[in-house]
Amino acid sequence: MGFIWFWLVAVMLVAYVVLDGFDIGVGILHLFLARTESDRQITLRSIGPVWDGNEVWLLAGGGTLYFAFPLLYASAFSGFYLALMIVLWLLIGRGAAIELRMKINISVWKAFFDGVFFISSALLAVFYGAALANVIRGVPLNPDGYFFLPLWTDWRVGPYPGILDWYTVIGGVVALVALAEHGALYLALKTTKDLQERSRATARMLWVALFALTVISLPASVIARSDTLDNYRKYPLTFAVPLIVFLSLLGMIHFCRKGEDRKAFGCSCAYLSMMLVGAAVALYPRLLPATTGLQYDITIDRALSGPHTLHVGLIWWTFGILLALIYFVVVYRMFRGKVSLESGGYEH
């Protein structure tokens, strides 16, 4: 059951990053790609019907973590308390910007919420990337399973690091560029004319940075934690994961240059998914590694709930996920096609 729940949580986090990732990416690019009021309305309409639904996967992942691995939930939410509060406020700010921007037709009002949308989206990407890097690197766990992290210390990876160091900063920058790329490819898929061409050009430009950062991040993970490749060596088939990462990167730029936006966006989804799957493979069976000693690692066996909880939870989880999948299929089908101001919505 531990193996099953580990990967169920991983799948929900992948779904969140892929789906809400393009929302965040649109927010990062909103000020730069949208040069007119019409462009800004189109970018917001491209995510308007789905952005709040996409965040359901974050709540579902957190809820699943709570009943499947309560020790991990308690430890992570206490140790990352400051970072989680910042993320909460950024999520509130982004939602408020999307919902309130068009409520008052005053340029200062709209400009303010355009800025809030950009800042909250960009910082969310950075914090998510830094959070994943913190998990891969490990945290200074105590024997009781708890820890405290200052925002930064000496910027080095060691037994008692801060939330920010050279490795977690790399993780934050990778996430920022990857989600911006994801958002650019999504806008290329959903828009037309000049905005679509600017989105494609931006995606091609960001791709160069993303490729370089991906090449840097993989060996950086090995330097930050020397046992990162242990599972890959133990199960050689898992080396297919980094191979798919690089193939998806090549697919992004290939299809973007050919103007095949749907395939390019699909490659971006594959890239984000495989990057997260690669991290999960490196961690398994650990949920939160300790920098203070292997004996303090929070592993699946150590954090797992009781058998009755897991069996009953699996039944309700399956029922809930089926409802969520039906909802997402219906919503995405309803709002498929290009965004159009002239038709008042979407061109199917």
User: Is 314 part of any domain?
Assistant: yes
User: Is 291 part of any domain?
Assistant: yes
The pTM of this model reads 0.93
Q: Determine the Cα–Cα distance for residues 123 and 119; give it in Å rounded to an integer.
A: 6
User: Is 254 part of any domain?
Assistant: no
The encoded tokens of residue 57 equal 């996967």
User: Is 257 part of any domain?
Assistant: no
Q: Identify the DSSP state of 102.
A: G
344 torsion bin: left (phi>0), alpha (psi -120 to 50), beta (else)? left
Residue 146 binned pLDDT confidence (cut-offs 50, 70, 90): confident
Q: Determine the Cα–Cα distance for residues 146 and 73; give it in Å rounded to an integer.
A: 11
* Domain interval for residue 81: 2-238+284-347
Q: Which amino acid is at 92?
A: I
User: Is 265 part of any domain?
Assistant: no
Nearest residue to 168 via CA among 230, 103, 92, 221 = 221
Instruction: Let me know: does 118 contact 129? Beta carbons within 8 Å.
Output: no
Q: Determine the Cα–Cα distance for residues 173 and 209; give it in Å rounded to an integer.
A: 10
Phi first, then psi, for residue 287 (nearest 5°) are -100, -35
User: Is 251 part of any domain?
Assistant: no
Name every residue whose Cβ is closer than 8 Å to that of residue 51 and which is 6 or more positions away in sequence.
Answer: 20, 23, 95, 98
In the chain, the number of structural domains is 1
User: Is 259 part of any domain?
Assistant: no
What is the mean pLDDT of the segment spanning 59-69? 89
User: Is 117 part of any domain?
Assistant: yes
Nearest residue to 176 via CA among 128, 126, 221, 213 = 126
Q: Per-residue pLDDT tens for 285-322?
A: 999 999 988 889 999 999 999 989 899 989 989 998 99
For the ranges 153-162, 203-212, 308-317, which has the lowest average pLDDT?
A: 153-162
